[in-house]
Amino acid sequence: MKILSWNINGLRTLKRPLKETLDSFNADIICFQETKVSRSLLEEELAIVEGYSSYYSFPRWQSGYSGVATYCRDSCQPERAEEGLSGLITGQNCHDDSLGFNGNFKEFTSQELMLLDAEGRAVVTSHEVQCNKKVEKLVIINVYCPRADPEKPERADFKLRFYYLLQKRAEKLVQNGFHVIIVGDLNTAHKPIDHCDPGDEVEFSLRPDRLWLSSFLGECSPNEDNNKEHDITFIDTFRHFNKSHTEAFTCWMTSTGARQTNYGTRLDYILCNRNFISHVMSSIILPEIKGSDHCPIAIELRCDPVASRRCPSLCTKYWLEFVGKQQKLSLFLRQPVQVTAQITDFQPVNSYIPKRRANSHSETVSKKKQNVQKISQKSITSFFVPQTSTLQTTIPSKQGILDSVDNSTNSNLNIFTTIDHHYSSKNSASSCYSNPHMLFSHTACVSDDEKSVNIIPSGSSETSMICSHDAESDCNSDGNLSSQSSTKSFSLKCENITKNFLQKSTYCVLEETDEQYQNPSFTLNTTKNNQCQEYHINNQMEKQKQLWKSVLCGPQPPPLCKGHKEPCVLKTVKKQGPNNGRQFFTCAHPEGRAENPEAKCNHFQWVNPPKVKGKR
């Protein structure tokens, strides 16, 4: 039988599915601490896992804080389960799952007991195990003890009261004939060997939480009489098998990268009562398993689990939100998903739909498709197009610029325009655009009787540019277009807009002939002008880039640390006080022992040193 414990630092932060994680441990009982999940946010994938039964304890006052969970294989299904150490929470819900402890102690008031259990720090499960062909009762206490915050003195008292309640509950269970195993994060490094930087050993051992742990394990504290008799109730299983093992840590600071140099503390324990230590085969630490600031710990027992016939009522599979009898409030607050039906052409099966009905249906669909108008977003430049005077010019048509006006028309109308700000035309019909955005949107009209194309810039009511149709285009003998008579409007898209359109101050649409396009000197001059303008644009952009670099110079490079001569890292003071929010440089190496050359050196430098006031 194998029992594993791990401070997971957030159950929802697991990178793999929970079932895959549980199976990888190959353990019968898995105890998680610091799950950081409340019941309202617990997902079914975490609460109900195939092959396991789970038991949770949640904080009552604060969400995303504390919390423990115990997962048991079906082969190790518990007989009873309780939430909390006092037994009051489970006693109020189901008296049948009580382990014979109702919290009636003179040292605690009922209000204090409820406060100690309100943070979701303990789950108690009772099992039957077969040891040496004898069935024994074994209780697993999965616990996450409070942390003594130096800035909150009242939390130190709360921690000691929680320890005292844990001790009373465990001793009571042993007196009632149970074997007890306490697993979890006790938030205390017991001895100097369990700490990376203990300092003075005498002062280290005099802290109240360490004094309690020494007393709980039946060891003499430095200020007590060595001849005093102690009732050794519980034993640290890891130190029982590894008395002198150094640097055996289970917790590291992730902010300083201390895990790389194994600069941490041993805060996680598996304790058992003295009479049960003979059934423990081994107790190990698993630092190779990552995913949290803690690593798992585990023990193996010379016992075989005996599964119970039914799960206790605390099991998550009995919760109403997971059995379909009650829905979560969050389901009613979700926005309904709107499904938009899309009309598509399809041919119904004739064996199920009559032919007349199928034809009418397809006609209806085709009519609906014709009525659907595609709404496209306008370009922002269309709102800045001014109204201009009429532009009219006659330009021979070329191939491939205008699409066909109608499906029945096979002729192609083509427009050729040449833009040059150095060219001056004698034709009074040519005019200049003072705004380049006018080229972005036009409307063209084809008239049968005039054999021309009217191009109306957007925003204009009566301006047009008439482009004559090519003599070689498809026309009738009378000179009319072969298309059916009707004036159609369509959109002329400007696909290629070069840098010349954006930099010129005036844009002239001029009348050009085929000889001009075929003249090599005309093409050469245009290419040279484009190259000059491109060089001018790049030169201006480079000047602006250098100007902005001089204004926004960016942060200065970090200094080099004294120990390794490598760039430092920038950090910010988050602790409340006069230096809160200030930035400083420190060594980028992970924290470690001073004799370790790969560890962090003592380099420290403020970004903005405090000003020294001059003497008056």
Catalytic residue positions? Answer: 144, 185, 294
**How far apart are the C-alpha atoms of 231 and 223, rounded to whole Å?**
18
Give the span between the Cα atoms of 411 and 481, in whole angstroms.
Answer: 9
Extract the tokens encoding 501.
Answer: 């359109």
Q: How far apart are CA 164 and CA 160, in angstroms?
A: 6
Contact 204, 221 (CB under 8 A): no
Pairing of strands 466-468, 452-457: antiparallel
Q: How many Å apart are CA 292 and CA 144, to the nearest integer?
A: 15
How would you classify the pairing of strands 68-73 and 29-33?
A: antiparallel
Residue 472 identity (one-letter amino acid): E
Question: Helix H segments across 246-394?
Answer: 320-323, 329-332, 355-371
HSE-CB at 484 with a 13 A cutoff on CA atoms is 3
Distance (Å, whole) CA 59 – CA 8: 16
| CA–CA dist 143, 436 (Å, integer) | 74
The answer to whether 98 and 83 are in contact (CB under 8 A) is no
Residue with tokens 């277009």: 481
Q: Which helix (H) or strand (E) holds 537?
A: helix 520-551
Distance CA 464, CA 388 (A): 10
Which run of H or of E encompasses 517?
helix 514-518
Query: Hey, which residues does 605 pair with through a beta bridge?
Result: 585
Give the alpha-carbon dihedral of 193, 197, 200, 204, to 10 degrees: -70
Phi, psi values for residue 359, rounded to 5°: -65, -45
Compute CA 477 distance to the chain's CA centroid, rounded to the nearest angstrom.
73
For the chain, the straight-line distance linking the first and the last C-alpha, in angstroms and rounded, comes to 77
In the numeric block, which tokens belong to residue 515? 């000889």
- H or E element in which residue 348 lies: none
CA distance 311 to 316: 10
Return d(Cα 269, Cα 266) in angstroms, integer. Answer: 8
- 282 pairs with which residues across the strands? 300
Burial track 454-481 (b if 16+ CB lie within 10 A, e otherwise): bbbbbbbeebbbbbbbbeebeeeeeeeb
**Count of CB atoms within 10 A of residue 198's CB?**
15
Is 119:351 a contact under the CB 8 Å cutoff? Answer: no
Helix or strand holding residue 128 (H, E): strand 122-131
Residue 247: name the closest of 269, 264, 268 by CA.
Answer: 264
